[in-house]
A and B are shown apart, each in its own frame.
Chain A
């Protein structure tokens, strides 16, 4: 019972990190800043999923973390590809 508090605390700390990343996503100022912020949000979301898996004792949620890590990498590469080639 007592140890559950620590995993909830870890969830709270990671959520504060996501709030910071979202503030940067809103403020910009440039498009690459927003892409980096989105990348960080996804990485922290992996942390949240893993904490959730521990909190509810459900190791199946770790598969979601694999897929999200894969998709976020592809998304960042695609953003970088198009930012490098765009004409301002």
Chain B
């Protein structure tokens, strides 16, 4: 019985220690934020480049269909090109939101435990909202 109580107290103490994470120093936060910003910018640039390439390829398919004077094919390729464009737009939007999320989370590290959790939850919610909205592009 004593052992069980002792285990419970130990577990509670462990959880309390783990949860009450100390805020990071200002310098650490600044470093991590800068790193997250750089990573995010790279990810967005990659998403943008991928989308541009995909759009160019899709447009070429449409141009080829036009050159072949195949109306059905033109309609199909044009439809596909529109889908490609919408997907690309969605991916760029999500990449941007994820980049913003990374930075926001790193900034949260400067806060103390309860505020930090709320800060991170807000960041998560913002990301989810953008992801949900981006689905309508497709």
Task: Tell me whether A and B are bound partners.
Answer: no
Instruction: Please report B residues at the A interface, Cβ cutoff 8 Å.
Output: none
